[in-house]
Chains A and B, each alone.
Chain A
Amino acid sequence: MLRFALTLLLFTLAFGVLSSSPVFSDLILAKVDRRIDLTSQIVRITTSLKVENAGSNPISEILLSFPENQAKHLAYLTATLNEGKGKGKASSGAGLPTEVVIPKDVPDSLTFYSLSLPKGLGKGESLLLDVLAVFTHALEPFPEKISQADIQLLLFQDTAHFLSPYKVMVQSLAVKLPEARVESYTKLEGTKLSGSELKYGPFHNIPPFSYLPIIIHFENNQPFAVAEELVREIEISHWGNVQVTEHYNLFHGGAKSKGEFSRLPCFCDYEFLCRYFVRARPYVRGASAFRRLVARLPPRAHSVYYRDEIGNISTSSLWGDSKKTELEIEPRYPLFGGWRTAFTIGYGLPLRDFLFESDGKRFLNFSFGSPINELVIDTLIVKVVLPEGSKDISASVPFPVKQWQETKFSHLDLVGRPVVVLEKNNVVPEHNEHFQVYYKFNSLSMLREPLMLIFGFFFLFVACIVYMHADLSISKSSASYLAKVQWEEVQATVQQIHNIISHCLTAHDKLEASLRDLSRTGDVQACKATRKSVDSLLKGVSKDLKPLVTFLQSSPQAAHILPKVEELIAKERDLQERLMAKHTTVVDCYEKKLGGREIENRIASNQQKITSLRQEVDDLMDFIDEI
Chain B
Amino acid sequence: MAASDAPNGDVLIRNAFGSVLAFLILLLIGVLAFSIRLFSVIKYESVIHEFDPYFNYRVTQFLTKNGIYDFWNWFDDRTWYPLGRVIGGTVYPGLTLTAGTLYWFLHSLNIPLSVETVCVFTAPIFSAFASWATFLLTKEVKGVGAGLTAAALLAMVPSYISRSVAGSYDNEAVAIFALIFTFYLYIKTLNTGSLFYATLNSLSYFYMVCSWGGYTFIINLIPMHVLLCIVTGRYSSRLYIAYAPLVVLGTLLAALVPVVGFNAVMTSEHFASFLVFIIIHVVALVYYIKGILSPKMFKVALALVVSIGLAVCCAMVAVIIALVASSPTKGWSGRSLSLLDPTYASKYIPIIASVSEHQPPTWPSYFMDINVLAFLIPAGIIACFSPLSDASLFAVLYIVLSVYFSGVMVRLMLVLAPAACILSGIALSQAFDVFTRSIKFQLPSLSDHSHIDARDASSENIVPDDTIKTDKSEDTPKERMTKRSKKKEKEPVEKPPTKFQIKKRLSVLPFEASIIAVILLVLLVAFYVVHCVWAAAEAYSAPSIVLTSHSNDGLHVFDDFREAYAWLSHNTDVDDKVASWWDYGYQTTAMANRTVIVDNNTWNNTHIATVGTAMSSPEKAAWEIFHSLDVKYVLVVFGGLVGYPSDDINKFLWMVRIGGGVFPHIKEPDYLRDGQYRIDSMATPTMLNCLMYKLSYYRFVETDGKAFDRVRRTEIGKKYFKLTHFEEVFTTHHWMVRIYKLKPPKNRIRGKNKKSKSKTSSTTTSKRKGTRRNPF
Name the A residues within 8 Å of B733 (CB-CB): 263, 333
- Per the bound structure, the CA–CA distance linking A234 and B138 in Å amounts to 52
Name the A residues within 8 Å of B498 (CB-CB): 506, 509
Name the B residues within 8 Å of A430 (CB-CB): none
Name the B residues within 8 Å of A340 (CB-CB): 570-571
- Per the bound structure, the CA–CA distance linking A506 and B7 in Å amounts to 13
Known contacts A261-B728, A509-B496, A509-B498: does B4 contact A333 (CB below 8 Å)?
Answer: no
- Per the bound structure, the CA–CA distance linking A611 and B557 in Å amounts to 74
Q: Which of A312, A332, A495 contacts B45 (CB 8 A)?
A: A312
How many positions in chain B have a CB within 8 Å of any CB in the partner chain?
45
- Chain B residue nearest to A618 (CB atoms) is B503
Q: Which of B47, B109, B570, B728 contacts A341 (CB 8 A)?
A: B570
- Per the bound structure, the CA–CA distance linking A264 and B496 in Å amounts to 83
**Interface assignment of A502: CB less than 8 Å from any CB of chain B:** yes
Q: Which of A311, A505, A509, A614 contacts B562 (CB 8 A)?
A: A311
**Interface assignment of B184: CB less than 8 Å from any CB of chain A:** no
Known contacts A310-B565, A506-B496: does B559 contact A263 (CB below 8 Å)?
Answer: no
- Supplied contacts A502-B7, A503-B4, 6 more A-B pairs, CB within 8 Å: A260-B729, A411-B111, A611-B502, A615-B502, A618-B499, A618-B502
Among A592-627, those with CB < 8 Å from B are 611, 614-615, 618
A47 CB, nearest partner CB in chain B, Å: 39
A-B pairs with the 4 shortest C-beta distances? A311-B47, A312-B45, A340-B570, A509-B498
Interface centre among A262, A263, A339 (most CB of B within 10 A): A263
Name the A residues within 8 Å of B112 (CB-CB): 409-411
Name the A residues within 8 Å of B496 (CB-CB): 502, 505-506, 509
Name the B residues within 8 Å of A499 (CB-CB): 4, 7-8, 11
Interface flags, A327-355, vs B, CB<8A=1, else 0: 00000110000011110000000000000
- Ordered by A's residue number, 22 sampled pairs between the chains whose C-beta atoms are within 8 Å are A261-B728, A261-B729, A262-B699, A262-B728, A264-B699, A310-B566, A311-B45, A312-B47, A339-B571, A340-B571, A341-B566, A409-B110, A410-B110, A495-B8, A496-B8, A499-B7, A500-B4, A509-B499, A513-B455, A544-B4, A618-B499, A618-B504
Among B1-43, those with CB < 8 Å from A are 1, 3-4, 7-8, 11
**Interface assignment of B495: CB less than 8 Å from any CB of chain A:** yes
B572 CB, nearest partner CB in chain A, Å: 10
Name the B residues within 8 Å of A500 (CB-CB): 4
Among B376-405, those with CB < 8 Å from A are none
Interface flags, A387-404, vs B, CB<8A=1, else 0: 000000000000000000
Name the A residues within 8 Å of B565 (CB-CB): 310
Known contacts A260-B728, A618-B503: does B566 contact A333 (CB below 8 Å)?
Answer: yes
- Chain B residue nearest to A305 (CB atoms) is B45
CB of B732 within 8 A of CB of A333, answer yes
**Interface assignment of B630: CB less than 8 Å from any CB of chain A:** no
**Interface assignment of B567: CB less than 8 Å from any CB of chain A:** yes
Interface flags, A414-429, vs B, CB<8A=1, else 0: 1000000000000000
CB of A308 within 8 A of CB of B566, answer yes
Interface flags, B705-744, vs A, CB<8A=1, else 0: 0000000000000000000000111111101000000000
- Per the bound structure, the CA–CA distance linking A496 and B699 in Å amounts to 89
**Interface assignment of A413: CB less than 8 Å from any CB of chain B:** yes
**Interface assignment of B758: CB less than 8 Å from any CB of chain A:** no
- Per the bound structure, the CA–CA distance linking A332 and B496 in Å amounts to 72
Name the B residues within 8 Å of A517 (CB-CB): 455
**Interface assignment of B553: CB less than 8 Å from any CB of chain A:** yes
A517 CB, nearest partner CB in chain B, Å: 8
**Interface assignment of A314: CB less than 8 Å from any CB of chain B:** yes
- Chain B residue nearest to A497 (CB atoms) is B4
CB of A332 within 8 A of CB of B566, answer yes
**Interface assignment of A270: CB less than 8 Å from any CB of chain B:** yes
**Interface assignment of B575: CB less than 8 Å from any CB of chain A:** no
Name the A residues within 8 Å of B109 (CB-CB): 412
B635 CB, nearest partner CB in chain A, Å: 14
**Interface assignment of B255: CB less than 8 Å from any CB of chain A:** no
B590 CB, nearest partner CB in chain A, Å: 8
Interface centre among A310, A332, A411 (most CB of B within 10 A): A310
- Per the bound structure, the CA–CA distance linking A264 and B498 in Å amounts to 84
**Interface assignment of B489: CB less than 8 Å from any CB of chain A:** no
CB of B559 within 8 A of CB of A314, answer yes
**Interface assignment of A459: CB less than 8 Å from any CB of chain B:** no
A332 CB, nearest partner CB in chain B, Å: 5
- Per the bound structure, the CA–CA distance linking A544 and B727 in Å amounts to 98
Interface centre among B4, B109, B735 (most CB of A within 10 A): B4
Interface flags, A569-606, vs B, CB<8A=1, else 0: 00000000000000000000000000000000000000
CB of A412 within 8 A of CB of B111, answer yes
CB of B727 within 8 A of CB of A342, answer no
- Per the bound structure, the CA–CA distance linking A561 and B11 in Å amounts to 21
- Per the bound structure, the CA–CA distance linking A412 and B496 in Å amounts to 55
A182 CB, nearest partner CB in chain B, Å: 32
Name the A residues within 8 Å of B45 (CB-CB): 311-312
Among A475-529, those with CB < 8 Å from B are 495-496, 499-500, 502-503, 505-506, 509, 513, 517
CB of B566 within 8 A of CB of A503, answer no
CB of A260 within 8 A of CB of B47, answer no
Name the A residues within 8 Å of B591 (CB-CB): 310
CB of B731 within 8 A of CB of A263, answer yes
CB of B570 within 8 A of CB of A506, answer no
Name the A residues within 8 Å of B110 (CB-CB): 409-414
B102 CB, nearest partner CB in chain A, Å: 16
CB of A342 within 8 A of CB of B8, answer no
CB of A264 within 8 A of CB of B702, answer yes
Among B656-677, those with CB < 8 Å from A are none
B719 CB, nearest partner CB in chain A, Å: 14
Name the B residues within 8 Å of A311 (CB-CB): 45-47, 545-546, 562
CB of B559 within 8 A of CB of A333, answer no
Name the B residues within 8 Å of A618 (CB-CB): 499, 502-504
**Interface assignment of A458: CB less than 8 Å from any CB of chain B:** no
**Interface assignment of B479: CB less than 8 Å from any CB of chain A:** no
- Per the bound structure, the CA–CA distance linking A313 and B565 in Å amounts to 13
- Per the bound structure, the CA–CA distance linking A503 and B2 in Å amounts to 13
**Interface assignment of B76: CB less than 8 Å from any CB of chain A:** no
Q: Which of B553, B567, B731 contacts A332 (CB 8 A)?
A: B567
CB of A260 within 8 A of CB of B727, answer yes
B767 CB, nearest partner CB in chain A, Å: 20
Q: Which of A270, A341, A342, A513 contacts B553 (CB 8 A)?
A: A270
Name the A residues within 8 Å of B502 (CB-CB): 611, 614-615, 618
Among B489-505, those with CB < 8 Å from A are 495-496, 498-499, 502-504
**Interface assignment of A267: CB less than 8 Å from any CB of chain B:** yes
**Interface assignment of B563: CB less than 8 Å from any CB of chain A:** yes
- Chain A residue nearest to B112 (CB atoms) is A410
- Per the bound structure, the CA–CA distance linking A278 and B297 in Å amounts to 100
CB of A261 within 8 A of CB of B111, answer no
**Interface assignment of B771: CB less than 8 Å from any CB of chain A:** no
- Chain A residue nearest to B561 (CB atoms) is A310
Name the B residues within 8 Å of A413 (CB-CB): 110
CB of A506 within 8 A of CB of B499, answer yes
- Per the bound structure, the CA–CA distance linking A145 and B73 in Å amounts to 45
**Interface assignment of B326: CB less than 8 Å from any CB of chain A:** no
Q: Which of B3, B455, B559, B567 contacts A503 (CB 8 A)?
A: B3
CB of A262 within 8 A of CB of B503, answer no
Interface flags, A232-263, vs B, CB<8A=1, else 0: 00000000000000000000000000001111
- Per the bound structure, the CA–CA distance linking A513 and B45 in Å amounts to 68
A549 CB, nearest partner CB in chain B, Å: 14
Name the A residues within 8 Å of B735 (CB-CB): 263, 267
**Interface assignment of B703: CB less than 8 Å from any CB of chain A:** yes
CB of B571 within 8 A of CB of A502, answer no
B9 CB, nearest partner CB in chain A, Å: 11
Name the A residues within 8 Å of B111 (CB-CB): 411-412
Interface centre among A308, A339, A412, A499 (most CB of B within 10 A): A499
Among A252-285, those with CB < 8 Å from B are 260-264, 267, 270
A497 CB, nearest partner CB in chain B, Å: 9
